């Protein structure tokens, strides 16, 4: 979440007249994240999140995102629900941007995730993958392996100013990933951005998943690999095998990985590291002037990528290999 577009109080008050959510009492921007402009609204009936979709989010994709949240909720996944306007519409326009309001979820995201948090995420992610199986709308992942080359080309001329020989590292890794990326693993709806700040907890009990604006159809175990990167490293970027074991074991209790998915996990984890390294690098180099957002450090993912390059099999992530002794 972030704030790129400011909203005047009088314009917001006019916009809210299209909704039955009470009188606006206060609102404030949410500075975390990098994608859309988000505001926390307090009205006379409760709290809501207002999202203005910025240019990176295609308006044609919004029915997928909003419809997915509704679909998942009907399948027992706690996630934000779009608030319909008085005419039944879920989308409006505010400050020249497509805009939606969703309900507010209670909970806080874990600043220092522990193994219990990781287990909760693994369980919830597997449930989400199963729940999305019959979602009738599809959306291609524009930030999967086919989209990384254009990001690399955009960042390459200035990459070495961020870290020496970064361009060489990225170029070689991208060549490898494009050559060996798996093409026949099980696919479905994935969250694609399930970082700690997109998961709410009450204590150690998961209370909801948020921010579905990267959700798409892709390899299900690629979503698992994204979470390995997001949840199972320490602040110094060292891999925590206890957290990974908790996450993967909880996931497999709900949706066991196939042998092919297990074999491919180290490569998928390298791809997930590459995806976030590249998008963070582009954002680091091109923060819009005046944006109230702090870009995330791309070099965090250099360390993670190098770790995954050293992984031989899923056993290095803390879970038993198929066919190995107990």
What is the predicted pLDDT for the residue at 322? 62
Domain containing residue 79: 9-103
Predicted local confidence at residue 210, as pLDDT: 95
Say yes or no to pLDDT of 3 above 70: no
Q: Do 176 and 46 fall within a single domain?
A: no
Cα separation, 312 vs 308, whole angstroms: 9
What is the DSSP secondary-structure string of 312-325?
Answer: -SGGGGTSPPTT--
How high is the pLDDT of residue 22?
Answer: 92
Residue 1 lies in a domain: no
In contact, 33 and 293? CB cutoff 8 Å: yes
At 41, phi and psi to the nearest 5? -105, 135
Neighbours of 178 (CB within 10 A): 13
Residue 296: what pLDDT? 86
Average pLDDT over residues 237-244: 96
Closest by CA position to 5, among listed 49, 39, 33: 39
Q: Is residue 2 part of a domain?
A: no
- Residue 197 inside a domain? The answer is yes
**Which of 60, 75, 103 is the endpoint of a domain?**
103
Tokens of 325: 């002794």
Q: How many domains does the chain have?
A: 2
186 has a pLDDT exceeding 80: yes
Q: For position 183, which CATH number holds?
A: 3.90.1200.10
Do residues 138 and 285 both lie within one domain?
yes
What CATH number corresponds to the domain at position 30?
3.30.200.20
Residues 207 and 219: their CA atoms lie apart, in Å, by 25
- Does 3 reside within a domain? no
Residue 22 domain flag? yes
Q: Is the pLDDT of residue 274 over 60?
A: yes
| Helix-, strand-, coil-residue percentages of the chain, each rounded to 5 | 45, 15, 40
Q: What percent of the chain has pLDDT over 70?
A: 94
Are 34 and 166 members of one domain? no
Model pLDDT, residue 325: 42
In a domain? residue 108: no
Greater confidence, 32 or 215? 215
**Cα angle: 156, vertex 213, 71; to 5 degrees:** 150
What SS3 class is residue 20? coil
Could you tell me if 69 and 79 are in contact, meaning their C-beta atoms sit under 8 angstroms apart? yes
The string of DSSP letters for 189-205 reads EE-S---GGGEEEETTE
Same domain? For 174 and 302 the reply is yes
- In this predicted structure, the answer to whether residue 74 has a pLDDT above a threshold of 80 is yes
- Mean model confidence pLDDT for the chain: 93
pLDDT for 326: 36
pLDDT at 38 over 70: yes
């Amino acid at each position: 979440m972030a704030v790129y577009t400011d909203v005047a109080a009088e314009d917001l008050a006019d916009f809210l007249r299209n909704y039955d959510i009470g009188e606006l009492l206060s609102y404030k921007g949410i500075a975390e994240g990098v994608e859309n402009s988000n505001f926390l609204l307090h009205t006379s009936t409760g709290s809501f999140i207002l999202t203005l979709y910025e240019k990176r989010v295609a308006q044609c994709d919004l029915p997928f995102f909003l419809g997915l949240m509704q679909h998942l909720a009907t399948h027992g996944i706690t996630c934000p629900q779009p608030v319909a306007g008085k005419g039944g519409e879920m989308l409006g326009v505010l400050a020249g941007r497509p805009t939606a309001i969703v309900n507010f979820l209670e909970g806080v995201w874990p600043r220092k995730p522990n193994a219990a948090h990781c287990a909760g995420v693994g369980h919830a992610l597997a449930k989400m993958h199963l729940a999305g199986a019959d979602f009738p709308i599809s959306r291609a992942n524009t930030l999967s392996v086919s989209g990384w080359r254009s990001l690399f080309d955009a960042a390459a001329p200035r990459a070495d100013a961020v870290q020496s020989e970064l361009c060489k590292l990225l170029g070689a890794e991208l060549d490898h990933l494009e050559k060996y990326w798996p093409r026949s693993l099980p696919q479905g709806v994935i969250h694609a951005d399930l970082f700690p700040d997109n998961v709410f907890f009450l204590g150690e009990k998961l209370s909801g998943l948020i921010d579905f604006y990267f959700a798409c159809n892709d390899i299900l175990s690629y979503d698992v690999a994204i979470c390995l990167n997001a949840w199972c490293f320490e602040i110094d970027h060292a891999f925590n095998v206890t957290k990974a074991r908790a996450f993967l074991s909880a996931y497999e209790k709900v949706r066991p990985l196939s042998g092919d998915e297990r074999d491919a996990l180290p490569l998928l984890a390298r791809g997930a590291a590459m995806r976030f390294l590249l998008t963070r690098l582009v954002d680091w180099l091109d923060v819009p002037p005046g944006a109230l957002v702090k870009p995330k450090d791309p070099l965090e993912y250099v360390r993670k990528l190098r770790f995954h390059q050293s992984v031989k099999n899923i056993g290095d992530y803390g879970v038993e290999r198929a066919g190995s002794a107990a």
